[in-house]
Amino acid sequence: MAARCGWVTNDPLYIDYHDREWGVPIYEDQRLFEFLVLEGAQAGLSWYTILKKRENYRQAFDSFDPEKIAAYDDNKIAELLDNAGIVRNRLKIQSAIGNAKAFLRAKAEFGSFREYIWSFVGGQPHINHWSCLEDVPVSTPESDAMSKDLKRRGFRFVGTTICYSYMQATGMVMDHITECFRYRELSREE
């Protein structure tokens, strides 16, 4: 059996997420936006809770199309608040809408959201070399800078810990521990 990072449970959904997605660089704007919404929804909850609801989020939030989400009105907010398949938190739902608007502004300014968001790591994934889970930080100067700038641009639910988790999920930083089989695979892509 392949060694995995210590946060992975025996749940097939978690294993699949770890083995196929976590730490793999994402460069496509809509997928980057998807993770921004999901990471914000996770605030105060476990990632597993959000992962189980991910397909429901895709359906409820128009496959994370930022242009559609930016146009959501009070009727759509009421519909989302009645949707048991997602986290029904008014502030998080409203932040997804506001973040879609801020996302579109950043995309217009930089030509793509990717150009903007990846600038916090110099456009290349940071490959870390942690020997154990306890060594992995919850924030870094880069996530601090990202959080500060996102907030300045009107994004919400983007504290430094959420930003660092976002960076890990989207492969901006690769934080698989060195004993994990994904560490070997992803560090070769350096």
Q: What CATH number did the domain enclosing 179 receive? A: 1.10.340.30
32: left (phi over 0), alpha (psi -120 to 50) or beta: alpha
Is residue 126 in a domain?
A: yes
Is residue 1 in a domain?
A: no
Is residue 3 in a domain?
A: no
Determine the longest span between alpha carbons in the chain, in angstroms.
50
Catalytic residues: 17, 39, 47
pLDDT in tens, 145-176: 999 999 999 999 999 999 999 999 999 999 99
* pLDDT at site 128: 96
Give the model's confidence band at 2: pLDDT under 50 very low, under 70 low, under 90 confident, else very high.
confident
Q: Which domain does 122 fall in, by range? A: 12-187
Is residue 118 in a domain?
A: yes
pLDDT in tens, 107-150: 999 999 999 999 999 999 999 999 999 999 999 999 999 999 99
C-beta neighbour count of 73 within 10 angstroms: 9
Alpha carbon distance 177, 183 (integer Å) = 6
Res. 190: pLDDT tops 90:
no
* pLDDT at site 189: 53
Average pLDDT over the chain, rounded to an integer: 96
